[in-house]
Amino acid sequence: MTMKIIAANAIPAGDEGQKTLEIANDVELAELVASGALDGVARVELQFPKFTDGRAYSQALLLRRRYRFCGDIRATGDVLIDQLVHMHRSGFTSAVLAEGVDAAAAERQFARFSAFYQGDVNEPRPLFAREATLESA
């Protein structure tokens, strides 16, 4: 699964037809899910009001792991290049870059890291467990 990188001035026109839910950083996700607000939603947009505010990472992780949301989780707001890999590992599948951030440079960020020791949303097993599986095969 790869992350879709979108330049600030290039939001795809086809995205308009999807049922989208924007979630504020201070929303209690358990109440939101219990109310059925996620039913039929294809994309959830989580806001980064400034790059130092990391609450959306926790929201993405909870949506994927606890609430089993399978749709697109999009990062919006003050999204910078150095955040993208961690966003992807936390469950984001797309990101709209902050104004002035180069989309090509953002794509190259993913080539810098070929593997991670810790598990994440995409691969819950840590590296030693993945290697042990390969060795026993």
pLDDT per residue as tens digits for the range 78-88? 999 999 999 99
Q: What is d(CA 73, CA 93) in angstroms, rounded to the nearest whole number? A: 5
In the chain, the percentage of residues whose pLDDT exceeds 70 is 94
Q: Please tell me the predicted confidence (pLDDT) of residue 109.
A: 87
Query: How many domains, in total, are found in the chain?
Result: 1
pLDDT per residue as tens digits for the range 94-107? 999 999 999 889 88
pLDDT per residue as tens digits for the range 6-60? 998 877 655 666 799 999 999 999 999 999 999 999 999 999 999 889 999 999 9
Q: 128 is in which domain, residue-wise?
A: 4-136
3-state SS class at 28: coil
What is the Cα 90 distance to its own chain's centre? 6
Element (H or E) spanning 103, and its range? helix 103-109
The mean of the pLDDT values for the chain is 89
CATH of the domain at 94: 3.40.50
Q: What is d(CA 64, CA 104) in angstroms, rounded to the nearest whole number? A: 27
Nearest by Cα to 48 from 66, 26, 25: 25
Q: Please tell me the predicted confidence (pLDDT) of residue 137.
A: 63
The amino acid that residue 78 corresponds to is D
